[in-house]
Amino acid sequence: MDKLEEIMAWKRREIADRIRPVHPRELAMLAEAPKSGPTFRDALSDPGHLSLIAEIKRRSPSAGEIAGGAPAQERARLYYNAGVDAMSVLTDEKYFSGHLKDLWEVSDFLQFREDAPPLLRKDFMVHPVQILEAAEAGAKAILIIVRALGDDEIDALYEAANLAGMDSLFEVHNEAELERALRAGANIIGVNNRNLSDFTTDLAVSEQLLPMIPQEVVKVSESGIFEFEDAARARDAGADAVLIGQALMEMDDPEPFIRELRSLN
């Protein structure tokens, strides 16, 4: 069993006691709730500007401990003060030391700020109940890992997110997964430079796949971005945005690096 299969098997067991039917009206009511700030997709759609999704991530299977015990709200404050375009909050507990309460805490910090960057719930999504949880906690987007799901599961998650008024970031790593995402109707696609089977990273994956994505789809390069030059390489390959977690979490003060990245255009 490769690492992603291991994680997905665990995730299905983990949420088994939370699974219940999710009525479309439940999701639609969340979509009707007042919201401030841009949608996730709009926040990444600034022509001529490489947008930044800053991630709150304490550990990972590939890197091990990154910033154990780092308060989610404090990291959100640092990211907000640095002017990031969006934030990703990892809520998986077993493999990433996150929790759904981290998303609630970050959302609470941002809720009265008109310029609040939108939040992505980063987790291994398998059932619409997780989307309900994400929307209730203030997320404006969820992650759909194409490789981890069947087409019916992808369609169910995407439909639930749309009903809740949320965007979906479709994550792909190869051409076959990209084709599946496009068939599902994805309008935001993240190319994960990390192979989720063995967790090796190669920015050439973005350079290969990003040019294949239609112009109207928002393109994100994820993983393996540690330096200004890495972000510039992703931009040159066609990325509208980059998602950075480990590099930012390892910095006591990420603002200078974020300011430097935001100068890319």
Q: Which two tokens stand for residue 190?
A: 């993240």
What percent of the chain is modeled with pLDDT above 70?
A: 100
- Per-residue pLDDT, 64: 86
Task: Kindly name the residue from 55, 105, 133, 207 that is annotated as catalytic.
Answer: 55
Mean pLDDT of 205-222: 97
Phi then psi for residue 144, to 5 deg, are -120, 110
DSSP state of 166: -
- Per-residue pLDDT, 183: 97
- Per-residue pLDDT, 36: 83
Entry pTM: 0.95
Mean pLDDT of 223-234: 94
Half-sphere exposure of 56 (CA within 13 A, CB side): 35
Question: If we measure between CA atoms, which residue out of 99, 108, 188 comes closest to residue 141?
Answer: 188
Q: What's the pLDDT tens digit per position in 125-162?
A: 999 999 999 999 999 999 999 999 999 999 999 999 99
The one-letter amino acid code at 220 reads: V
pLDDT tops 70 at residue 205: yes
| 229 in active site | no
| 197 in active site | no
Q: Which two tokens stand for residue 33?
A: 């709730």
Task: Kindly name the residue from 51, 107, 122, 177 that is annotated as catalytic.
Answer: 122
Question: If we measure between CA atoms, which residue out of 55, 171, 184 comes closest to residue 120?
Answer: 55
| 74 in active site | no
pLDDT tops 90 at residue 196: no
- Per-residue pLDDT, 98: 93
Task: Kindly name the residue from 133, 177, 207, 222 that is annotated as catalytic.
Answer: 222
In the structure, what pLDDT confidence band is assigned to residue 195 with cuts at 50, 70 and 90? confident
| 11 in active site | no
Mean pLDDT of 35-42: 91
Q: Any idea where the domains of the chain sit in the sequence?
A: 3-14+38-261
- Distance of CA 89 to CAs 28, 43, 73, 85, 170, Å? 23, 16, 10, 14, 16
Task: Kindly name the residue from 192, 195, 206, 221 that is annotated as catalytic.
Answer: 192
Task: Kindly name the residue from 57, 177, 195, 206 that is annotated as catalytic.
Answer: 57
- Per-residue pLDDT, 101: 97
- Per-residue pLDDT, 194: 87
Q: Which two tokens stand for residue 198?
A: 């063995």
| 35 in active site | no
Q: What's the pLDDT tens digit per position in 161-177?
A: 999 999 999 999 999 99
Residue with tokens 């299969």: 5
Distance CA 223, CA 205 (A): 10
CA end-to-end distance (rounded Å), the chain = 42
In the structure, what pLDDT confidence band is assigned to residue 1 with cuts at 50, 70 and 90? low
| 187 in active site | no
Asked if 8 and 148 touch (Cβ cutoff 8 Å), the reply is yes
Q: What's the pLDDT tens digit per position in 54-109?
A: 999 999 888 888 888 889 999 999 999 999 999 999 999 999 999 999 999 999 99
Q: Would you identify the CATH topology of the domain 3-14+38-261? A: TIM Barrel (3.20.20)
Distance CA 77, CA 191 (A): 27
| 94 in active site | no
Question: If we measure between CA atoms, which residue out of 96, 94, 39 comes closest to residue 72?
Answer: 96
